[in-house]
Amino acid sequence: MSESTANTRKTSSEIYAEALQVIPGGVSRNTVFHKPHPYYASHAKGAYVTDIDGVRRVDFANNMASLIHGHAYDPIVEAVIAQLQRGTAFTMATEIEVAYAQLLTRRVASVDKIRFVNSGTEAVMAMMKAARAYTGKAKIAKAEGAYHGTYDFAEISQTSNPSNWGDPHAPNSVPLAHGTPPGVLSDMLIFPFNDIETTLAILDAHADDIAAVLIDPVPHRVGLSPASNEYIEALYAWTQKNGALLLFDEVVTFRVGYGGTQERYTVKPDLTAFGKIIGGGFPVGAFGGRADVMEVLNPHQSKLLFPHSGTFSANPITLTAGYVAMEHYHQEAVSRLNELSCVAMKQVEEAIQLAQVPVSITGAGSMFRVHLRPSPPVTYREAYQKPEVVQVIAKMLDYLFNEEKMMMINTCSVMLSTVMNQTEIDYLSEALLKAFRTFKPEIEAVQSKEV
């Protein structure tokens, strides 16, 4: 972009008109798509983002849960600038890769060894491939509705709906993208989240062919309710008995505890995928776990089972930012943020009661989700939103964005950051109270259709 172009003030609508000429739909990620046009960020600091039109908003989305310390966090900025002056990427290893690997393996009890990649999608993809390489089996089992990125296999049944999801005791493997190869569908098994009996029956029917069971312990798309300890124990026992691996996707949920959500369970996964907050605001992914499983990636092996590389994997900018982010997301910071989230959830529940709307809330750690239903969903099929519900949520989020000057994730979810305090929480609960009251007739109308 030339200096003259950079100094020309354009509105979001003008920029979007140009974007439509060169980018499909005008955006490179659908999560920022809005009608009549997306909004373009100008700058941000802490818990606030200012768009190119000069509007300042409180950010409860934090770039889809990736900014644990909010925007332009000074210690990260300073460390990244110093590394930037030394170089951004090399065809050589860097010391920060080793230091950060040491930090994360100390922090997460289940991780003996770890590798860095460039996104959560890539981390899950590599973790699944490592499981197949280690076990020699092809099939992966995952929970219905769970989001695990855009890898062909991982995205199966991510958005299944009443027209195609099939029997709840034997859910269909439903493709997301048109043209998904049939072989992908046959190698992905789908089970209902938190249903031990049904899940084990599905796994037993394919026991000889399953390489791994993949689970997000607090799946956002399923409803943002934690998996029970009994459920995780049952999955782990099954994998141990049948020569399979238990895979955790902690790309989002790592923020829940100092060592991730997995520290809440009595058993540990064999492999874990990470992303989001471990990049300190930069693109990142990582996967790690048992040393013997991770050996499939070891180039010292005479027979390398899983050759793995990546031009920007473990780049020093990302790892420098991530290292500082995790140093500052210490046990005290985790506890404080989780306590603040508890306060926020309580205040939102009070707003629901004051507005007298059929709305519920679920969550864990520093993240929670608002549901336009009177009782919290416990399965994907309960959390599934019919088109008319999606429309009301979209209108509520547009109202909050434009009238109350705040941002949430488009599932009506909140992801907090350490730079927030009671001021932002009060702002959130008051804004939601106004939204509940404004849209109460529409919320009640869509609920009446559910009965």
Tell me how far apart the alpha carbons of residues 282 and 404 are, in angstroms, rounded to a whole number.
28
Sign of CA dihedral 249, 251, 252, 253: positive
**H-helix or E-strand spanning residue 210:** strand 210-215
Q: Would you say 190 and 173 are in contact if contact means Cβ atoms under 8 Å apart?
A: yes
Query: For residues 25 and 257, what is the distance between their CA atoms, to the nearest angstrom?
Result: 37
134 included as an active-site residue: no
Of these residues, 139, 249, 270, 329, which one is catalytic?
249
Per-residue DSSP letter, 172: -
Q: Among 25, 220, 212, 48, which residue's Cα sits nearest to residue 127?
A: 212
Determine whether 152 is an active site residue: no
Among residues 137, 216, 276, 329, the one annotated as catalytic is 276
147 is catalytic: yes
Which two three-digit tokens encode residue 183? 């072989």
DSSP code per residue over 362-417: EEETTEEEEESSSS---SHHHH---HHHHHHHHHHHHHHHHTS-EE-BTTTEEE--
CB 138 within 8 A of CB 211: yes
User: Measured at the alpha carbon of residue 415, what is the angle toward residues 353 and 40, in degrees to the nearest 5?
Assistant: 110
> Which one, of 382, 401, 395, lies nearest residue 442 by Cα?
395
Question: 212-234 burial string, b = 16+ CB within 10 Å, else e?
Answer: bbbbbbbbbbbbbbbbeeebbeb
Instruction: Give, in order, the Cα–Cα distances in Å from 444 to each of 171, 403, 450.
Output: 30, 22, 10
Three-class SS state of 6: helix
Of residues 16, 39, 48, 147, which has the active-site annotation?
147
Catalytic positions are: 147, 249, 276
